[in-house]
Structure 1
Amino acid sequence: MHNGDLTITRAGTVIDGLDIRGMVKVEAPNVTIRNSIVRGRDLNGPMALIGNLGGYENLRIIDTELFPSTPSPDVQGIYGYNFEATRLNIHGVIDGIHITGGNVAITDSWLHDNLHYDRDPNQGGTPSHDDAIQIQEGSNILIEGNRLTDAWNASVQVTQDRGDVENLTITDNVVDGGGCSINLAEKSHGPLRGVVITDNTFGRNTRVDDCAVIARSSTKVKMARNYYTPDDTLVVVHAG
């Protein structure tokens, strides 16, 4: 057990089998966190259970659970870029994974049961904008083999709030929930490039009818073999 925050500053550090009662901040390359649980602490502002906002290279998070001991509208799951997230169980947070740059792979993980507040102080008292995965900027992003459910806003929300998003692949996932499950917003950065969405299974529990994927017509999405369950209807892009 580790009580308190954990800041990792030594390159190549391996955290294995640790119960962390605090927040984890990565400040070194080639860090591995595996077979662990991160529970966080009381917060007085937005913060991630695991933060790599500096984009230190080759962060690997494997076979680990992220579940805050204290629910809060401030608590996020993973924040940053240049990381691999493999076989994770993330729940009880606002955003499960928040991507702020490129070179990210999220595979074989379960992101579910997001925190949601009808009056979220971080949203000016309006409902939380909780996502399983939010992408603000970056290229070379892979989302493969995951189960993404229970987010109120979207399972995958591309905002382009920080910059361009390109070379995004979403494949072989089970996806459900949200206003629309996958929302590809352009904002001021224009069309997304290199978006591939293939071989996914979508539920119909969206607030907008038949809205598995929404995008503007200017964003060209390579779609193949995406179906609704249980009726196996082919998914098409909803016009945004």
Structure 2
Amino acid sequence: MAIGSKKIQRKNIRATYAAGAAAVTITALALTAAPAVQAAPALAPAALTLGSYQPSASTTGVPAGTALKAYNTSGADLVITTDGTVLNGLDIYGDIKVRAKNVVIKNSRLHGGKAIPKSNTGVVDATSAAVVNLVVQDSTIVPDRPSYYRDGIVGHDYTARRNHIQGSNDGLGIFNRPGGPVTANVTAEGNYIHGLTYWSYDPAHSDGTHNDGIQVQGGQNIRIVGNNIVANSKPGTGSAPNPRGTHAGTGIMLQQNVAQLANVVVDKNWVDDGQTSINIDNGKYSKITVTVSNNKLGRNQFDFGNGSKYPIRVISRAASTVGGLTTSNHWADTQALLVEGKTGGIRYNY
């Protein structure tokens, strides 16, 4: 079998397509399209050192020259239930529900579902207890039908690497499984997240969606390194304008809604825009301990009045232990160290 002159490697997998109330289990093909022959760039993104370059459209998403094969064009949910499934070089429609171990999605364009979800999910949903060691890399994740219920990637036990994520509600959602282990086991590195979709109507918020580039809500073993996160947004079709203009919610949200955080490292990222670029909130727990170090902060946050902006915002001084906060985070433009104060870049609510 071939796509034009491109050879296809085949691997049988078991997949489930869910359409409406019906769910049919079928035998599908995991297609791997051979990449187009092209001259290698001076330095491929995979060879670059995290934190030494600012991820952009040219270093994330589907690699240039990759031949994509249309897959699951009905747009129904694609539920992966076989361990070791590999989706490579595909133009994939439908929200991908991962229910297996060691699944790899790479070099692919992910469109998401054609219908509005009935509850919170992602273009890639990794919330199942069956998910272990999911890898999503070198892929472009832009939903064809944005929704306040459709994030980019959401769940636990995954690695998101060098993806270009745009147009979703949140870019990445990270939390351990409620009622399950305390570990989240998520790595996000080298991604470019920007241009989220704002909705004036949101069942979870009376003031519209709180779009976050990366939202961490609980769990242990979370590593966020070398990403470029621009927390801006635009209204979705039918939405009223965002009263905060193009500013989304938060670039990186560290908030203990689901569980207490531990072994959480936010390092060497570029973060800008939003109402707050990096937010640290102990939430429903009395203490929060995280590392926020060596990040480069922009200055384009929402102005709450008279130059009042929040590049890094810590909700409670007494409740928060933040490694590297005052010793290693810098302004992206001048490289000057962030300091506490209204214009210094680091602020505490109380």
TM-score grouping bracket, smaller chain normalisation: over 0.9
Q: Percent identity?
A: 29
Aligned to 2:311: 212
Distance (whole Å) between structure 2 residues aligned to residue 156 and residue 146 of structure 1: 10
Deviation of the 1:24 alpha carbon? 0.1
Contact 2:294 2:329 in 1 (8 A): yes
Q: Which moved more, 1:145-154 or 1:85-94?
A: 145-154
Which has more radius of gyration? 2
Deviation of the 1:54 alpha carbon? 1.6
Distance (whole Å) between structure 2 residues aligned to residue 177 and residue 61 of structure 1: 25
Aligned to 1:57: 132
Aligned to 2:254: 158
Distance (whole Å) between structure 2 residues aligned to residue 126 and residue 169 of structure 1: 30
1:112 aligns with 2:194: yes
Deviation of the 1:210 alpha carbon? 4.5
| Number of residue pairs aligned between Structure 1 and Structure 2 | 238
* SS of residue in 2 equivalent to 1:50: strand
1:192 aligns with 2:297: no
Aligned to 1:5: 77
Contact 2:111 2:143 in 1 (8 A): yes
TM-score, structure 1 as length reference: 0.94
Aligned to 1:148: 229
Distance (whole Å) between structure 1 residues aligned to residue 201 and residue 153 of structure 2: 20
1:174 aligns with 2:270: yes
Runs of at least 5 residues in structure 2 that lack an aligned partner in the other structure: 1-69, 177-183, 233-247, 340-345
Distance (whole Å) between structure 2 residues aligned to residue 30 and residue 172 of structure 1: 27
Deviations for 1:157-180, whole angstroms, at most 9, x for unmatched residues? 122111111211111111001111
Distance (whole Å) between structure 2 residues aligned to residue 159 and residue 144 of structure 1: 18
Deviation of the 1:22 alpha carbon? 0.6
Deviation of the 1:190 alpha carbon? 2.0
Deviation of the 1:229 alpha carbon? 2.8
Deviations for 1:104-156, whole angstroms, at most 9, x for unmatched residues? 10001101101112x22324552210000111111111111110003411011
Deviation of the 1:235 alpha carbon? 1.5
Aligned to 2:109: 37
Distance (whole Å) between structure 1 residues aligned to residue 81 and residue 264 of structure 2: 30
Which residue identity lines up with residue 189 of structure 1 in the other structure?
Answer: Y
Aligned to 1:139: 220
RMSD: 1.5
Runs of at least 5 residues in structure 1 that lack an aligned partner in the other structure: none
Contact 2:117 2:150 in 1 (8 A): no
